[in-house]
Structure 1
Amino acid sequence: MKTDRLLEIIIYLLNHEKATAKQLADKFDVSVRTIQRDVDSISLTGVPILAATGLHGGYSIDSDYKIRNQFIGKEDFAWIVMALKSLSTSCENDRLNLILEKYRSLNHVDEPKIFLDYSVTRENQDVLLHNKIIEEAISRLLQIQFDYQNVKGSLSRKTVNPLILRFKWYAWYLFAFDVEKEEYRTYKIARMANLVMTNVPFQSPDNVEERLADSDKNYLWTCESIEVWCREDSIAELEEYFPGEKKERLNDGNYLLHLHVPPQEKLWQALLLSMGRKVRILSPKSYRDRLVRTAAEFLSNHDMLMS
């Protein structure tokens, strides 16, 4: 229906900086002329659609109009405040705090009844300082350099085009283009040292989020499957740290879990070790032997032997 299409065009333009008539026609499977008539109809309703001509032309909605509350209700604002407050518990950012205050002032927004406290994930001051430098470099499209120690302990000097700073797996990471290797990589901020922002500009690719998604898919291919036996009274604890993984209930009431883990990361290994007799790695044998050696080395460092 035309009415549905008009609403979808408005929503699309609200979520995108600009779109040409051809792009909209392709998206909604109509002619360019139909899109032009639709835009005229939308404008008559009071939605300020701007039309720019030329090479970089297209339709857009007035930015001042986007921040008004015609499409966002009071309850929606409360959820936005909740998200901002939750984010502020793990991220120090002056702009974030300013935005939070702005949203709190809109229409006397009620404080949210749900609050997510991520303060336990807040990293040290070095990471927070690095984040600020990286944020500025991303904003100004300037290359950065840093010393980086990978998970195997190898140290190297990196020059990268910073693209996306994100929080994942309880830590901050940078998705960037490695200038020397000419490939997109993800770097853990906590493993950086001697970080500096250079005066060398770079051009950000248009499809950064697509490249990030591809990188995540490639990372998943590096994960390996392990089988873990888990005691019946401890399955909830293991599922808390490995949500959504396949599990089988055994005849004796205990469980068999099939976990996908990054082989070089140590956090999941430490978690299994911390559960003691509650879990046991069944396969592959190399993982089981590795954890046994780690436990033996820990005990020997305390003048103890495994029985």
Structure 2
Amino acid sequence: MQISRLFQIIYILLEKKSVTAGELAKHFEVSVRTIYRDIDALSQAGIPIYASQGKGGGISLLDNFVLDKSLLSEKEQDKILLALQSLSAVQYPELDDVLSKLNSLFKKSNINWIEVDFSNWGKDKKQNEVFSLLKDTILEHMVITFSYFNINGEKSYRKVEPFKLLFRDKAWYLQGYCLQKMALRTFKISRMSDIHITEESCTHQSSQELMTKSLKEACSEQVKLTLKISPEGAYRVYDDFEEENIIKNNDGSYTVIVSLPGGEWIYSYLFSFGTMLEVIEPESVRKEISTRLDNMVNKYRFKT
């Protein structure tokens, strides 16, 4: 995360006075090019930072520079600490170190009142390692390759320019430009394997407006559903839907009228309610569910 890295660079320079770009790159496990981009960002933000060449040269702050915490109000300091603490959800590696330093600088003590954790119970560290790898490739603008299983269980090889990590509906996704399909795609991280970083740099990184357009088009493909959910499903009703979309019936059941993105996923989602849910409308979805249920039942019929 660039913002936290910028804070750390300032802190390191305040302590060590002068550090080379190579040393900073090694410390943060990024490229020297990335460090110079950070230096430019700090300079544009008004931090008196400069680089000197030759023997004994390096990156330094002007001698009279002091990181004045009074530039930030108490409320702004709290917001910064809260934002960094929420990064625990994505297992950001330098988080504890950054929080400790800023906590000391701001003289704060009670910053542990929130913990965000998106991981599954009992999940091993493999997903965290994949997340960290993908985060680095996005920040470094590097092309990656990986194997991917689609919703039908079909395996394919992908070469992608990664743009963004997205958490939605209990799962992490990678959004990027697929060089095989020549189009923007969204990949569920749990279905990715054999991820490798190539030596190629992204060329479509500046075309993020294409991603925005693609996502808007995907979101426009909505299916309006009328659902009836039994009283036993009350916990799911208020977990999954807005109160304004819920009608409680006299028999204790619920009628939910909601628009959801279309696609194969919608049937897996509806089936997750089991016998607690009945699709009232549209008829096309009712028929498709009936067909799928018949196919499932046929697999378990006793053969004579």
* TM-score category (smaller protein): 0.5 to 0.7
CA separation of 1:106 and 1:245: change in aligned 2, threshold 3 A: farther
> How far is 1:167 from its partner?
2.3
Partner of 2:127: 127
CA separation of 1:303 and 1:117: change in aligned 2, threshold 3 A: farther
User: Deviations along 1:247-268, whole A, 9 cap, x unmatched?
Assistant: 3455666432122334311552
Question: Normalising to structure 1: TM-score of the pair?
Answer: 0.64
Give the paired residue count: 243
Matches within 5 A, 1:1-307: 60-63=44-47, 68-88=68-88, 90-112=89-111, 114-121=113-120, 124-206=124-206, 208=208, 210-231=209-230, 234-235=233-234, 237-243=236-242, 246-250=245-249, 254-262=253-261, 263-265=263-265, 268-273=269-274, 276-277=275-276, 279-291=277-289
Partner of 1:21: none
CA separation of 1:199 and 1:281: change in aligned 2, threshold 3 A: same
> How far is 1:244 from its partner?
6.0
Letter in 1 for 2:45: I
Larger deviation, residues 106-115 vs 130-139: 106-115
Q: Is the 8 A contact 1:165 1:173 kept in 2?
A: yes
Q: Is the 8 A contact 1:121 1:171 kept in 2?
A: no
CA separation of 1:253 and 1:165: change in aligned 2, threshold 3 A: closer
Q: Which runs of 5+ in 1 are unaligned?
A: 1-55
CA separation of 1:116 and 1:288: change in aligned 2, threshold 3 A: farther
CA separation of 1:153 and 1:260: change in aligned 2, threshold 3 A: farther
Q: Is the 8 A contact 1:248 1:257 kept in 2?
A: yes
> How far is 1:218 from its partner?
1.9
Q: Is the 8 A contact 1:146 1:196 kept in 2?
A: yes
Q: Is the 8 A contact 1:224 1:260 kept in 2?
A: yes
* Separation (CA, whole Å) in 2 of partners of 1:127 and 1:113: 25
Q: Is the 8 A contact 2:225 2:257 kept in 1?
A: yes
**SS of 1:93's equivalent?**
coil
**SS of 1:139's equivalent?**
helix
* Separation (CA, whole Å) in 2 of partners of 1:302 and 1:82: 52
Q: Is the 8 A contact 2:118 2:170 kept in 1?
A: no
CA separation of 1:294 and 1:104: change in aligned 2, threshold 3 A: farther
> How far is 1:242 from its partner?
2.4
CA separation of 1:166 and 1:105: change in aligned 2, threshold 3 A: farther
Q: Is the 8 A contact 2:142 2:161 kept in 1?
A: yes
Q: Is the 8 A contact 1:138 1:163 kept in 2?
A: yes
Q: Is the 8 A contact 1:160 1:178 kept in 2?
A: yes
* Separation (CA, whole Å) in 2 of partners of 1:294 and 1:103: 56
* Separation (CA, whole Å) in 2 of partners of 1:79 and 1:300: 57
Letter in 1 for 2:169: W
Letter in 2 for 1:61: A
User: Deviations along 1:265-291, whole A, 9 cap, x unmatched?
Assistant: 155224322xx34x3211224434555
User: Deviations along 1:36-94, whole A, 9 cap, x unmatched?
Assistant: xxxxxxxxxxxxxxxxxxxx9xx9431469x7544532343334333433331x32231
* Separation (CA, whole Å) in 1 of partners of 2:255 and 2:247: 5
| CA RMSD between the two structures | 3.6
Question: Normalising to structure 2: TM-score of the pair?
Answer: 0.65
* Separation (CA, whole Å) in 2 of partners of 1:264 and 1:191: 16
CA separation of 1:228 and 1:147: change in aligned 2, threshold 3 A: same
* Separation (CA, whole Å) in 1 of partners of 2:119 and 2:201: 36
